[in-house]
Amino acid sequence: MWITWKAPSPNNFNPAADPGLMRMPKSRGGCPATLMKKIQRLEMEGISKSFHGIHANKEISLSVGSGEILGLLGENGAGKTTLMNILYGLYQPDAGQIKINGSPVRITNPMESILMGIGMVHQHFMLIQNHSVIENIALGYKDTPFFFPKIKIREKVASFSRQFNFTIDLNQKIWQLSAGEQQRVEIIKALMNGADLLILDEPTSVLTPKEIEELIIILRQMKADGHCVIFISHKLDEIMNICDRVVVLQKGSIVGSADTGKTDKKTLARMMVGRDVVFNISKEKLAKGQEILRADQIHVTGDMGLPAVKGVSFDLHENEIFGIAGVAGNGQRELAEAITGIRRIDSGKVTINGKDITNLSPRHIYDHGVSHVPEERIRFGIAPGLFLYDNAILKQHHLKKFSRRYFLKYNDVKTHTQGIVDDFKVLTHSIDNQIRNLSGGNIQKLILGREISEQPRLLVASHPTYGLDVGATEFLRHHLLKLRKQGSAVLLFSEDLEEIFELCDRIAVIFAGEFMGIFDSDDERLCEIGLMMAGSKRI
């Protein structure tokens, strides 16, 4: 009899709290030898899976062969992650089967799939925040020795890191890393196990353009070595660039597939959303109104105890979107947190409408009309086990309209939540649903809806389109422009230059905690933005 260990719930955002993850068995006998052969072809046949009677996957069949990169496209909630979780052994399909090299296999937990040669990088990080990089890698590695695991593994990781240009201090704790760096740890973890089939679930959403390029190089190398890759992304350019073939999902079913050589972005988008998507939106000219935010010589310390923001000054007005462009980890997160009250400002001054808000509590700053869409939204923005309506008022629960004296007005809260769900097209069977059960993109939509539906005076938004499908991205950009038109100010942090140029009235480039310059969006000097982001030019 096989007793299999409990798989960590894929929607559990706090792996540290899940003992399942800490109990990965070292290795397993029992695995039929034929399966240890390299994966030449993987097939999924007629896979179906439903939750609460709603189909997340419906009779899906696909296959991927050695040396092939298969793209998986689909709107938020289309069922991509569910399908991959089935392949990885986190879920059992209701129907259908998986075949490796032509013979059917049953994958009942992740350790089995790892031993079969399947690796997966999850949409949300599964790293243990209080452990170091090396400890996290050792934990997921199949040959970790029982005694002194770190010593043995360190050499392996070191050689691997050299090969893939991975420059992170292995002794750092995960919580000290930027989102992009955490993603790289996840990727290394999957690669270290020598996966024949690598599944990447939106791996690029938090990577910088340069990191994405490096990842693409790694993937090409893997492809040349005869590995199979399944790649999920909402960025059509990437899909076109990286993949050989794409499969498009809609509401759990396959609605089309194509060779990337024989299709284009527009067609894919139409297949996915069922209508034409406007990629370039134009913003109307608006005169800027009175000043809303003024930041004066702000200095902020980062998690590592080093200065992260060094003397930044700028102002932001009504009817204006101010973009801060830069490679992740140059002080953007600290700056956003300082303005919204989560992080202490060491020196300098921030005013909203002329009132000093420096180092006020997050709630006071919120009450001054400042909304915040944080960078690591899954980590900071939700309480996973609580219901949608609980999460829809996080940070707003103290407001008059949701509470009377000591009590919450749950009827009003529920109406409000239903409003967000309808406006932002959050896909859920009901608002009486734990938020952990939503798809990644739909969680993002709920958080965005919560923060921006309130008509903030100032919206501080970090990478607001992370994880959104093309339709939702389009909607969100229109919404930001609508806020601008209605007189709000938006402070937009993004690595996506296209997004910055499309939306912003003024753009600042940040490097190592300093502004390299502030420009109007039509300034010609911006053609050198790449150099400025790299810190080699200052204006």
| Minimal distance, residue 28 CB to other proteins, in Å | 13
Answer for which of 71, 77, 117, 449 binds ligand ATP (CB under 6 A) is 77
x-or-dash string of contact with Mg ion, 88-127, rule CB under 5 A: -----------------------------------x----
Backbone angles phi, psi at 15, to 5 degrees: -60, -25
Q: Are 223 and 69 in contact (CB under 8 A)?
A: yes
Answer for which of 17, 51, 221, 536 binds ligand ATP (CB under 6 A) is 51
Q: Give the containing element (helix H, strand E) for 222.
A: helix 209-224
* Count of residues that interact with other proteins, criterion CB under 8 A: 44
Footprint of ligand ATP on residues 380-409 (CB under 6 A)? none
Contact call for residue 439 and ligand ATP (CB under 6 A): yes
x-or-dash string of contact with other proteins, 99-118, rule CB under 8 A: -------x-xx---------
CB nearer other proteins, residue 13 or residue 166? 13
> Position 310: which residue type?
K
| Minimal distance, residue 426 CB to ligand ATP, in Å | 9
Q: Are 233 and 154 in contact (CB under 8 A)?
A: no
Contact call for residue 109 and ligand ATP (CB under 6 A): no
Footprint of ligand ATP on residues 123-142 (CB under 6 A)? 123
Q: In the numeric block, which tokens belong to residue 262?
A: 């024989």
- Residue 89 CA to residue 345 CA, distance in Å, equals 46
Q: Are 444 and 468 in contact (CB under 8 A)?
A: yes
CB nearer other proteins, residue 217 or residue 386? 386
CB nearer ligand ATP, residue 79 or residue 517? 79
- Residue 11 CA to residue 28 CA, distance in Å, equals 25
Q: In the numeric block, which tokens belong to residue 468?
A: 């959104």
CB nearer ligand ATP, residue 149 or residue 440? 440
CB nearer ligand ATP, residue 78 or residue 206? 78
- Residue 520 CA to residue 285 CA, distance in Å, equals 13
x-or-dash string of contact with other proteins, 431-460, rule CB under 8 A: ------x-----------------------
CB nearer other proteins, residue 147 or residue 407? 407
Contact call for residue 440 and ligand ATP (CB under 6 A): yes
Answer for which of 8, 71, 79, 341 binds ligand ATP (CB under 6 A) is 79
Helix pair angle (265-273, 470-485), 10° resolution: 90
Strand 197-201, strand 41-51: pairing: unpaired
| Minimal distance, residue 82 CB to Mg ion, in Å | 8
Strands, E, within 202-290: which ranges? 228-232, 245-250, 253-259
Q: Are 188 and 180 in contact (CB under 8 A)?
A: no
Backbone angles phi, psi at 110, to 5 degrees: -60, -35
**Segment near Mg ion (CB under 5 A); pick from 73-81, 143-151, 220-228, 470-478:** 73-81
Place of tokens 């999924």: 44
Strands, E, within 24-116: which ranges? 41-51, 54-65, 69-74, 95-100, 103-105
Three-state DSSP class for residue 32: coil
CB nearer ligand ATP, residue 193 or residue 444? 444
Residues in contact with ligand ATP by CB under 6 A are 11, 51, 56, 74, 76-82, 123, 427-428, 437-442
Summarize as ranges the residues that interact with Mg ion (CB under 5 A). 81, 123, 439-440
